[in-house]
Amino acid sequence: MGGLFTRFIPFMCFDRNDDAEGMQATPPPPFDVGVALEEVPPDVYLKRETAIKPSIPITGKQFLTLQEHIPPRFQGRRWRLLFCSGLHGFSRLALQQNCAEEIRSARGNERPAVLIVSAGSEGKILLGAYISCIPQTSNKKYVGTEESFLFCVPSPSSSSSALSSSDDLHIFTAPADAANRYFMRCDNGAIAFGGGGKGPALFLHSDFASVSCSTFCPTFGIRESLLLLNARPGGDGDAAVFDLPNDVHLEGGEPTTSVRAVQLWTIGDEYFSLL
């Protein structure tokens, strides 16, 4: 995608090599995600007297991939942390209050949201969603636009550990002929992304202790659970069973795993620079 983000992409460095033809590109250093994150201000309630620099459970490469997929008007802007289970605990009330406060302070300015879930007993499964608006308890009906998308780094299956070295994000956007517009809905503290078919493509349960991903969600054109992308069937015919990835189990027929950490971000107005 084009847009404002292209202004912040660094030029490649070139070194002359007398033994090689032409110029050779020198890869730029890894991107430091910290430059794109706003500081978390002091919080009297949490007894934190100074601002802190937040951490985020994605790599620089993954962050830049997300930058390419979010709408151009938000590319290159700093991210602001609204909720972090490491700071606020697994409290849906804290998430709801922080979201409501951000919406009030935005004074009508557009504020998308990015949910990031570290799942599995060791937090090696990454699940997330970009949504065109901040979750609210009033979102009893589905909200959001076609700009919304899901992303993940699935866990390797128990017999395919070699796949665990990849940190490439899988991106899932809404197809042009999507059967519905069920992008996001909040219900009794739970947050659902997608719907129809066999249920939400990503469903964060109200206790924030587990997350489920259905095996068919027409909203995002998904026909395989985000938690089973590396699963391989074993056996033949009706006897075939999936080699479930580590920490994933079936609950009510749908793949589910435990949650290690939850973060919710919004995108502010200030720009960062990669230079």
Residue boundaries of the structural domains of the chain: 34-155+168-231+242-271
Contact partners, residue 250, CB within 8 Å, separation at least 6: 244, 256
Phi-psi region of 191 (alpha: psi -120 to 50; beta: other; left: phi over 0): beta
In this predicted structure, the answer to whether residue 249 has a pLDDT above a threshold of 60 is yes
Q: How many residues does the chain have?
A: 275
- Residue 11 has a pLDDT of 35
Residue 131, beta-bridge partner list: 113
Q: Decide which of 13 and 86 is more confident.
A: 86
Token pair in block for residue 89: 């605990």
CA gap 55, 256 in Å, rounded: 26
pLDDT surpassing 80 at residue 157? no
Q: How far apart are CA 107 and CA 109, in angstroms?
A: 6
Q: How confident is the model at residue 103 (pLDDT cuts 50, 70, 90)?
A: very high
| Spatial CA neighbour of 275 closest among 6, 1, 9 | 9
What residues pair up with 151 in beta bridges, in sequence order?
128, 171
User: Which residues, 6+ apart, have CB-to-CB distance to 230 below 8 Å?
Assistant: 154, 155, 156, 157, 160, 163, 245
pLDDT-derived band at 239 (thresholds 50, 70, 90) equals very low
Query: What is the reported pTM?
Result: 0.85
Six-digit token string for 85: 């289970």
How many other β-carbons are positioned within 10 Å of the β-carbon of residue 32? 11
Strands 13-16 and 254-271, how do they pair?
A: unpaired
Q: What is the pLDDT of residues 163-214, one digit of tens each?
A: 444 678 999 999 999 999 999 999 888 999 999 999 999 999 999 999 999 9
Encode pLDDT of 219-235 as tens digits.
999 999 999 986 655 54
Report the pLDDT value the prediction gives residue 165, as an integer from 0 to 100: 46
Query: What whole-number distance in Å separates Cα of residue 244 and Cα of residue 250?
Result: 9
Return the amino acid letter for 268. Answer: G
Q: How far apart are CA 246 and CA 234, in angstroms?
A: 16
Find the DSSP H helices in the chain: 60-69, 85-88, 92-106
Q: Rounded to an integer, what distance in angstroms lies between the CA atom of residue 268 and that of residue 251? A: 38
Mean pLDDT, all residues of the chain: 85
- Cβ neighbours of residue 119 closer than 8 Å, sequence gap 6 or more: 125, 126, 127, 211, 247, 257, 258, 259, 260
- Residue 24 banded pLDDT, cuts 50, 70, 90: low
